[in-house]
Structure 1
Amino acid sequence: MKLKLRSKIHLYSSVLFAVLLILMNGIIYLMFSRLSTGDQLDQAAAEMVKIADGMRRAGQTVPAQELLRAYVPVEGMLRLLAADGSGPAPVTSASEQELSRLKPSYHSAKYSELIKFQGRSYTFVTTPVIWTDGSVMNVQMTKSMENTMNTLKVLRVVLAGATVCAMLPLLLSSRVLSGLIMRPIVQMTATMREIKHSGKFRRLTLEESSRDELMEMGHTFNEMIALLESNYAKQEKFVSDASHELRTPLTVIESYASLLKRRGTQHPELFNESVEAIHSEAIRMRELTEQLLLLARHQEQWDVSLQSINLVELARASAKAFHNAYGREVNVQSKGAVKGYSDEAKLRQLLFIFLDNARKYSDEAITITLEASLQESRIVITDRGIGIPAGELPRVFDRFYRVDESRGRKAGGAGLGLSLAAEIAAAIGARLSMESVEGAGTSASIFIAAESRGKL
């Protein structure tokens, strides 16, 4: 039979608590028993010394039998024994007459032990004395331990009762304990089942006052659900964006291909136009696909490597590469050295996005200005183009947003560049801002940590 985890925790904890309780009570009983019996032996030995000394002193004037009657314990027997086993008859108390049947044994030195006789416990103590005739005699005392045994019996009953009584709350507490341990797991199972049936992501409700491992497991579960939800949302967004944006270039390619198929042989002048259009749309599809794949990634997958960067050298190298690619003039302005703490490759990609955006919407030279302060460095990309209306600025970083749909399509943009820039900036810890005056131009600012701050 397979037990559930709750039942296993309940069973194992109950058995463990029971074993520990029984073991603890057993140790208590053994310790008390040893202390009690040891104390009885010590008392009997001390009493024996007094009796032997008294009998030795009075032995010359009082008969041995009378001495035995005088010193016999209340519940026990007193015997005077010679080495050959001779001696007066032992004297017993009224309640312990059966002890006279106990076989005598001579001991040449002091000796004490616990003995059993007819199912009862006794202390046996013997000590040698020099008797009046010069012989060595044993004075032996056998004394009942029934009072101590009765006390131990009561202790056994009390400990057994205490164990039984303690087991009830132990069983209840182990049940509560198993419930507390299983509660987050049960909640997780119910939440996952609900997610499975409803298709909607849910999180556990946690008590923030707790800081134990179960709470940590709950937080980890919620973080995992958040990651899954984010991945699911990105997947849905990617499919939606890809289907939306790839439909147009695919339609264009299909249209020109059909045109070539129908009329390409009869009208050669259509060939160049169709091939150029198909080539242009294919390039735009490739760029769009690359941008969509980048946007579909999590920041943890961007492989960011932060280091100290000479921003002036980075800006000049980027301006030169951009000029060679597009033939556009890019001026770099800086007052002295400007350094930052960022990922060089991602920052260069960020610069190219803003430079390409400035190229699309302006015809004049583009300017890169670098500024340094104690806390952060600033890179400003400025163009003298058509600008952006003030009401549109808050939305320019939204995915697939274009200020002018027809103009954006004509320029070849898909509305993903600035959205990708925002994702890159978040990954490398940079801040972005955009300022624009319609008809005058646009300035995009990149704020990154200064070198001194990055080394802290």
Structure 2
Amino acid sequence: MKLQTKIHLYSSVLFIALIVAANVSIYLLFSRMSVDRELQQITAQTERAARAIEKAATEAEMAELLRAYVPLDGMIRVVKENKADNRLLVVSPDAGALAELTPEYNRQKKQDVVRLEGKSYGFASIPVIAADGDVVSVQATQSIEELTRLLRLLRYVMAAATLVVVAAVLVSGGVLGRLIMRPITAMTRTMREVARSGRFVRLKQDMRSKDELTEMGETFNEMIGLLENSFAKQEQFVSNASHELKTPLTIIESYASLLKRKGLSRPDLFGESVEAIRSEAVRMRTMTEQLLWLAKPKREWRLDWSEVNVAPFVEQSVNAFRTAYKRDIELEAKEGFAVRTDKGLLKQLLFILLDNARKYSEGVIVVRVDEESGACMIRVIDEGIGIAPEELSRVFERFYRIDQARTKGQEEEGGTGLGLSLAKEIAETLGAEVTLESEPGKGTTAAIKLPARLLSKF
């Protein structure tokens, strides 16, 4: 059974049961109260008659008194105990079959509804001591057919109203089921379209509504966005890897073939070939690591936030880089403040900028740490080839390399075009910002800006 059918069925059955139960309860309560009120009126009239006949000395006087209390559509009588002729009746002209009603003596006060020839009557019996000392029962019987007809009409009206409400419930239950299922149906249709076409389609949301169904639709769109982003990263990874790895593989294959053909007879080619193969292998390793890192969703980056004393941290990182690459690096660090960040990612970000400065410059690299407008600034300054203004805005694109980088000799390490793209991703994850200032032939300044909200002084 479909969920829409279940919602329609269950909601309709529940509402119908509640409506029927409410109407039946209302009718029974109203009917009971109305009948009790009629019986109380008859009983009160009978009690007045009983008090009157207490003073009657003879049956003739008693009969005369009872005529004043005879109901218009009923009768009143006195029933005596242990007497052969124990009826004293005063019957209204239209009492009909009431005159033949068998008398029954009642020792206690009594009121009830009796049925006679298909009609309903209210009955009340009051015991009283007559003037002659006999205990008699004053009994009044009055038709309540008018009330019965009104209750019957009420039943018809409530039944008709119930049918109308049931019809409305059935229709509204169907509408409710469709309203509830609309976003779910749209979601199912969208998922089928995604599976069939391979395109990532989002739900069209009615932002005026803020209910759980809208929230579910927004969550679905977020999930589609994540899937689309992951698919795009995977597709871009495969495309970029196949394109960028082709060149170093071709170079490695070419030099390996050269070594195979002439390596034994041409010792001068051996060193050149081995160095070229090593250089391209290193570049392939670096590129593969960066591609794998960029292909990983940010939510899988495990961050370890902690307070980092900036000056000692940068000094330690610079010393490690200086030792590894034997480059002259000067450090100008201002003491006295810390940032809340991830040590591993911040060090990787700093190494990317230092590595770029190392690759594209020959002179001294300056690393400067200071505070500017409440933010921590880490600058890496080189006097290398620089970047043209028209290319400066594109250096953060993946696999984009400036011409000077592409024409570097094979004996040196060239760039992969992924370093600054990875640096931008890391900076965004840390809540920081990476900027470049450069002038061709004079050098480049790369800056890491850690905002004031991450900064603390000591």
Sort the TM-score into its range (normalised by shorter chain).
over 0.9
Q: Post-superposition shift, 1:452? A: 6.3
Match of 2:53? 55
Match of 2:126? 127
Match of 1:434? 436
Instruction: Say yes or no: does 1:407 pair with 2:405.
Output: no
Q: Give the AA of the match of 1:105.
A: E
Question: 176-185 or 88-97: which moved more?
Answer: 88-97
Q: Residues 38, 414 of structure 1: CA spacing in aligned structure 2 closer, same or farther, 3 A cutoff? A: same
Question: 85-94 or 251-260: which moved more?
Answer: 85-94
Match of 1:147? 146
Q: Residues 41, 272 of structure 1: CA spacing in aligned structure 2 closer, same or farther, 3 A cutoff? A: same
Give the alignment's TM-score, normalised by structure 1.
Answer: 0.92
Match of 2:369? 370
Q: Percent identity?
A: 48
* Per-residue CA distance 1:388-417 (angstroms, 9 max, x = gap): 112211011110111122229753311100
Question: 402-411 or 437-446: which moved more?
Answer: 402-411
Match of 1:4? 2
Counterpart-to-counterpart distance in 2, 1:102 and 1:258: 130
Give yes or no for contact 2:45–2:69 (8 Å, CA) kept in 1. Answer: no
Match of 2:35? 37
Q: Residues 365, 68 of structure 1: CA spacing in aligned structure 2 closer, same or farther, 3 A cutoff? A: same
Match of 1:107? 106
Question: 36-45 or 171-180: which moved more?
Answer: 171-180
**Secondary structure of the corresponding residue to residue 416 of structure 2:** coil
Q: Post-superposition shift, 1:346? A: 0.7
Question: What are the ranges of 5 or more consecutive residues in structure 2 without an aligned counterpart?
Answer: none
5 Å-filtered alignment, 1:340-355, equals 340-355=339-354
Counterpart-to-counterpart distance in 2, 1:384 and 1:85: 139
Counterpart-to-counterpart distance in 1, 2:197 and 2:7: 32
Give yes or no for contact 1:204–1:218 (8 Å, CA) kept in 2. Answer: yes
* Per-residue CA distance 1:233-287 (angstroms, 9 max, x = gap): 1111001110011111211222222233333344455444433333332222222
Q: Residues 395, 157 of structure 1: CA spacing in aligned structure 2 closer, same or farther, 3 A cutoff? A: same
**Secondary structure of the corresponding residue to residue 215 of structure 2:** helix
* Per-residue CA distance 1:151-183 (angstroms, 9 max, x = gap): 110100001111122233333222222221122
Counterpart-to-counterpart distance in 1, 2:131 and 2:326: 138
Match of 2:80? 82
Give yes or no for contact 2:54–2:130 (8 Å, CA) kept in 1. Answer: yes
Q: Give the AA of the match of 1:76.
A: G
Counterpart-to-counterpart distance in 2, 1:83 and 1:374: 114
Match of 1:22? 20
5 Å-filtered alignment, 1:184-195, equals 184-195=183-194
Give yes or no for contact 1:123–1:143 (8 Å, CA) kept in 2. Answer: yes
Question: 254-263 or 49-58: which moved more?
Answer: 254-263
Counterpart-to-counterpart distance in 1, 2:224 and 2:401: 33
Give yes or no for contact 2:80–2:105 (8 Å, CA) kept in 1. Answer: yes
Q: Post-superposition shift, 1:336? A: 2.8
Give yes or no for contact 2:87–2:103 (8 Å, CA) kept in 1. Answer: no
**Secondary structure of the corresponding residue to residue 395 of structure 1:** coil
Counterpart-to-counterpart distance in 2, 1:454 and 1:167: 68
Match of 1:444? 446
Counterpart-to-counterpart distance in 2, 1:135 and 1:454: 109
Q: Residues 85, 318 of structure 1: CA spacing in aligned structure 2 closer, same or farther, 3 A cutoff? A: farther
Match of 1:321? 320
Counterpart-to-counterpart distance in 1, 2:407 and 2:24: 91
Counterpart-to-counterpart distance in 1, 2:351 and 2:454: 26
Q: Post-superposition shift, 1:204? A: 1.5
Counterpart-to-counterpart distance in 2, 1:37 and 1:204: 62
Question: 241-250 or 16-25: which moved more?
Answer: 16-25
Residue 71 (structure 2) aligned to one of 63, 67, 73: 73
Q: Give the AA of the match of 1:337.
A: G
Match of 1:222? 221
Give yes or no for contact 1:76–1:141 (8 Å, CA) kept in 2. Answer: yes
Root-mean-square deviation (CA, aligned residues, Å) is 2.3
Give yes or no for contact 2:123–2:141 (8 Å, CA) kept in 1. Answer: yes
* Per-residue CA distance 1:271-320 (angstroms, 9 max, x = gap): 44433333332222222111001101121111123332211121011011
Q: Post-superposition shift, 1:197? A: 3.2
Q: Residues 209, 26 of structure 1: CA spacing in aligned structure 2 closer, same or farther, 3 A cutoff? A: same
Instruction: Say yes or no: does 1:422 pair with 2:404.
Output: no
Instruction: Say yes or no: does 1:336 pair with 2:335.
Output: yes
Match of 1:300? 299
**Secondary structure of the corresponding residue to residue 446 of structure 2:** strand
